[in-house]
Structure 1
């Protein structure tokens, strides 16, 4: 009997996801020059809970792909690389506090709690800008990013998008939500 707290895919699901990730890796070599799929695959196969998180990213429309290798830790870093903000994570406010502050028309969820449930992190502004060096993302949508505590304490939250061939950083009330805004995540494996 399996423990329900352990987040794992079946062997078939894992193989299917690894096949999807490999195809995306091969198709988008510009995102990971110098990296080798076989080394990434070995690391993934040794980290079943991380594979589960990647599957959650995939299921919600994130199209995760390797964007960097941390030579200090040996970890590979995956970002959501879908052209637009992931469809399965849209129309969420920023965090639980913002969700609870809404008196009416509450969204289904919030970005921080969903990311935590998926065992991933919201992209920082720096990571978001790094992603934008790899292509044109969020040209019609926007994505919540990790917001500094000082801004969040005052009721705000940050999001980014790409318009006019420029990456913009904006602010909004953390309780706001829009059909074209989700969040992008990162995962270290």
Structure 2
């Protein structure tokens, strides 16, 4: 819901989301050792637009959770921690250029535009590898990752998954899309 120009959740949705996030935080302490939920919640309550973005991550199946804290800025870092690529963000091409370049069977959306609309960023390859240190993700699906400009300029885009006990990063045309490929996001609060 947008209130004025700001994206804010109504009080009942905000409370439900905070409860969900707190439960996930407490259940997965290995992802954020040394951090306290009370501090995270205080930061979230100070930035309602970030709560809106986390709600979008949750609504699309991302199961966002705290994975660390930026030592320079003090911001808490959230990643999508769903076991598989978020279900509500699959079957999308990498970006608008890739989406529009398809002659037929165009996907309904693309990862970069969806992420921007949600107020989040695609995970980079390094962030994706960090996430995989916290568990096993994308064992049946794959996720687009932020693609370097030099690769994108040539028509390609990168995606990653976890198979055979390893993280694999591959390439595809940015216009491609698959039912089992989505994207994971990050948000700093």
* Deviation sequence 1:90-137 (CA, Å, 0-9, x none): 000000001110110000100000000001000000000000000000
2:110 matches 1:115: no
Cα deviation, residue 3, structure 1: 4.2
* CA RMSD, Structure 1 to Structure 2 (Å): 0.8
* Deviation sequence 1:133-182 (CA, Å, 0-9, x none): 00000000000000000000000000000000100000000000000000
CA distance in 2, matches of 1:151, 1:4: 39
SS in 1 for 2:6: coil
Match of residue 11 from structure 1 = 11
Match of residue 76 from structure 1 = 76
CA distance in 1, matches of 2:6, 2:34: 33
Match of residue 22 from structure 1 = 22
Matches within 5 A, 1:96-111: 96-111=96-111
Structure 1 segments (4+ residues) deviating >2 Å: 2-5
SS in 1 for 2:7: coil
Cα deviation, residue 77, structure 1: 0.2
Match of residue 88 from structure 1 = 88
Normalising by structure 1, we get a TM-score of 0.98
CA distance in 2, matches of 1:154, 1:13: 43
Match of residue 132 from structure 1 = 132
2:55 matches 1:44: no
Cα deviation, residue 74, structure 1: 1.0
Cα deviation, residue 6, structure 1: 1.4
Aligned length: 188
* Deviation sequence 1:30-57 (CA, Å, 0-9, x none): 0000000000000000000000000000
CA distance in 2, matches of 1:181, 1:8: 29
Match of residue 170 from structure 2 = 170
SS in 2 for 1:177: coil
